[in-house]
Amino acid sequence: MNIVVLKETVSGEQRVALMPDAVKNLVALKAVVSIESGAGLGAARTDDDYAAAGASVVADRKALLADADVLVVVNRPLADDFSRLKKGAVVLGFLRPLDEPHALTPALERGVTTFAMELVPRITRAQAMDALSSMATVAGYKAVLLGANRIPRMFPLLMTAAGTVPPARVLVLGAGVAGLQAIATARRLGAVVEAYDVRAAAGEQVRSLGAKFLEVDLGGIQTEDKGGYAVELSEEALKRGRDLIAEHAKTADVIVTTAQVPGKHAPVLMDEAAVSGMKRGSVVVDLAGATGGNVTLSKPDQVVERDGITLMAPTNLPGTVPVHASQLYSRNVTAFLSLLIKDGELHIDMNDDVVGPSCVTHGGKWMNQRVASGLEATRPANIQML
């Protein structure tokens, strides 16, 4: 079985899907691993590092695609790449099946089997494959550094002969994986941290990191589903949260927003008035930019200045920490691949409780009900549904 890794084509992407250590583990499972020359350079890994780990390094991208039994990617391949794969080949990576399902039609038409890391169920058995959590961890960490780098002051409390420097104040909105990492990072840098989340369960985690949890009376409504994820709130409940946030935003030096509701537009947590109420020199880092943003004024991948306040909404922070992001990601995908490899051969068991739910297309059919619903409105007549 030939596992192929290509150089990522998305602009500015520095990550690589497999690091050399992961290659060694796959070779130990009797797989053959081939990598496009230069694919690891953004993550500080050379062709020699890959060769030493047991991979074949190949310059011809088209030949690699044609030979691939499994193509492992960070970002979804181009339509042209799908068309060069063999029928029955497997593609594994962040494929954005829920927000851009139609972009996977070329894979469906080619008879390619696609597995999306976004769909890996968050059950205990699949924890080692949870690439969303890995990338959220990196993003939460880096968001705080971006804010710290931008504000015109220091983070820690300092008592010096020239006077006392008070600590910076950081407000984190959404205390899931990214938010908790942002809190931990801001605390390590010495900031005083407050955080808000609609899930009451997040309160204990926030406090255990030494931050203050902001609570608001939402009238006892249900804020999370059975899986522990936030649900979409009513406008009234959102407004109560926004009022609380606007009050605490006035004293914050850095605000990191991470609030998401799976499969939905990100909730708006700060409007223009809330931003205008902030201090000059303060910074907002909106990590929900890819799903519409938590802050009305922020624009994906742009720096917006308003009355001395800076708003940033970087959509690929993990790509700016390519060594560790790639290391975590390649461990996640290797753990998933180990479910597909038996005696060095590809063996796909759709009844497996991790493999089946992660599959998007297989044998010319859409395999995931959530993806199928997203496609339904504009479904071309020739697409067969399960």
Binding site for ligand NAD (CB under 6 A): 122, 127, 130, 132-133, 136, 173-179, 196-199, 202, 228-230, 233, 238, 241, 258-262, 267, 269
Which residues make Cβ contacts (< 8 Å) with residue 222, sequence separation at least 6?
A: 231
Residue nearest ligand NAD by beta-carbon distance? 176
Question: In whole angstroms, what is the distance from residue 327 CA to residue 193 CA?
Answer: 29
Smallest distance, Å, CB 264 to ligand NAD? Answer: 9
The answer to whether 56 is a known catalytic residue is: no
If the CB atoms of residues 25 and 258 are measured against ligand NAD, the closer one turns out to be 258
Smallest distance, Å, CB 294 to ligand NAD? Answer: 8
If the CB atoms of residues 39 and 274 are measured against ligand NAD, the closer one turns out to be 274
Tell me the three state secondary structure of residue 214. Answer: strand
Smallest distance, Å, CB 224 to ligand NAD? Answer: 7
DSSP H or E segment with residue 90: strand 90-94
Smallest distance, Å, CB 186 to ligand NAD? Answer: 16
The answer to whether 358 is a known catalytic residue is: no
The answer to whether 133 is a known catalytic residue is: yes
The answer to whether 229 is a known catalytic residue is: yes
DSSP H or E segment with residue 194: strand 192-196
If the CB atoms of residues 80 and 236 are measured against ligand NAD, the closer one turns out to be 236
DSSP secondary structure string for all residues of 249-312: HTT-SEEEE----TTSPPPP-B-HHHHHTSPTT-EEEETTGGGT-SBTT--TT-EEEETTEEEE
Catalytic pick among 48, 99, 122, 243: 122
Smallest distance, Å, CB 245 to ligand NAD? Answer: 8
Question: In whole angstroms, what is the distance from residue 108 CA to residue 101 CA?
Answer: 11
The answer to whether 130 is a known catalytic residue is: yes
Task: State which amino acid sits at residue 372.
Answer: A
Catalytic pick among 125, 127, 153, 225: 127
Tell me the three state secondary structure of residue 54. Answer: coil
Query: Quick one: tokens of 20?
Result: 């050399």
Catalytic pick among 47, 130, 197, 286: 130
If the CB atoms of residues 55 and 202 are measured against ligand NAD, the closer one turns out to be 202
Closest C-alpha among 193, 189, 195, 194 to residue 158: 189
Confirm if 117 and 332 have CB atoms less than 8 A apart: yes
If the CB atoms of residues 31 and 259 are measured against ligand NAD, the closer one turns out to be 259
Catalytic residues: 122, 127, 130, 133, 229
